[in-house]
Structure 1
Amino acid sequence: MKWLNVLRQQVELNGQRPVAEKLGVSNAVVSQVVNEKYPGDMNRIQALVESVYMSKTVLCPVLGEIAWHACHQHQKNEFTSNPQKLRIYRACRSGCDNSDLPVTQNVQLDALANRGNTSAKYDASAVINRLSRQAENEGGRHRLIDLLQDELHSLAARFNKLVK
């Protein structure tokens, strides 16, 4: 279980509390998962770890490619008058493949997808700059290597989706 090794590594590097906060779970949950004694939904914890630390993404019909955990946070949003949040709210309730919510809206998801980013081009220079800045704040060269590996895995997953 690669994700469990990643979780253990993050706890060792950063501590249990920061990892729990980043995952949005309690310290007890992280402790139980690391010690393989968690009685709850391990698939949910696995998906959280893969999203936060291993770049697991989904394709949102409104926002484009986003982190899995961000998608599930958007699903918890309430009805709003903010135009973009309203489009997300409706898409999550209109049969989006990534949504765990029941279908309660009748919105054309294809139409929503075309309203999002007009350019989905991958800007390698921007990503390298962003990851370099993040690595400087989080531990230097070794962290940069980890971040670049995660980005490469994410790119591979996106490429493989396109090839299918």
Structure 2
Amino acid sequence: MTIARDAWGEALPDWVLRLAEECAASSQNKVAGQMNRSASLVSAVLRAKYLGDMQAVEEIVRGLFFATTIRCPALGEISTATCRDWMRAAASFSNVNSERVRMYRACRTCPRMKKEASA
């Protein structure tokens, strides 16, 4: 947590603090695995050096550790992290299984996916 506090200072967001707490309780590598992201991404966020979409990381952290949910037209109430994972999977078609095909179709017509694409 010290790394995050030093890097972010007074502007430390609650979700970065929570990410740091989760890393302190286990490890950056384990937390990154839960997020389906790399440990280097987690490290960069904690050090306020991440150059990617910080809003996307915030959504993943809130979905995992704050239990933030959204209403999915295909699956019902799901975490924002699960939604984001399905949107990533729906970026390209794959008929590996019927659920993947169903989610590809659902995500492609979802207003949330369209919002992400236009951002």
Relative to the length of structure 1, the TM-score reads: 0.55
Q: Which residue of 1 aligns with 2:74?
A: 62
Rounded to whole Å, the distance in 2 between the matches of 1:79 and 1:24 is 19
The unaligned stretches of length 5 or more in structure 1 are 103-164
The unaligned stretches of length 5 or more in structure 2 are 1-12
Q: 1:101 to 1:85 in 2, by over 3 A?
A: farther
Letter in 2 for 1:80: N
Q: 1:63 to 1:14 in 2, by over 3 A?
A: same
Relative to the length of structure 2, the TM-score reads: 0.73
Q: Which residue of 1 aligns with 2:6?
A: none
Q: 1:59 offset after TM fit, Å?
A: 0.7
1:92 matched to 2:104:
no
Rounded to whole Å, the distance in 1 between the matches of 2:26 and 2:97 is 36
Secondary structure at the aligned position of 1:93 is classed as helix
Which has more radius of gyration?
Answer: 1
Q: Which residue of 1 aligns with 2:31?
A: 19
Q: 1:61 to 1:4 in 2, by over 3 A?
A: same
4-13 or 64-73, which deviates more:
64-73
Structure 1 contact 58–98 (Cα < 8 Å) conserved:
no
Structure 1 contact 59–65 (Cα < 8 Å) conserved:
yes
Please tell me the root mean square deviation across aligned C-alpha atoms, in Å.
2.0
Q: 1:80 offset after TM fit, Å?
A: 2.8
Q: 1:101 to 1:38 in 2, by over 3 A?
A: closer
Letter in 1 for 2:112: N
Q: 1:14 to 1:85 in 2, by over 3 A?
A: same
Q: 1:17 offset after TM fit, Å?
A: 0.7
Q: Which residue of 2 aligns with 1:7?
A: 19
Deviations 1:88-126 (A, max 9, x none): 2212112x1221358xxxxxxxxxxxxxxxxxxxxxxxx
Identity %: 31
Q: 1:82 offset after TM fit, Å?
A: 4.7
Secondary structure at the aligned position of 2:112 is classed as coil
Q: 1:88 to 1:101 in 2, by over 3 A?
A: farther
Q: 1:17 to 1:89 in 2, by over 3 A?
A: same
Q: 1:7 to 1:87 in 2, by over 3 A?
A: same
1:34 matched to 2:46:
yes
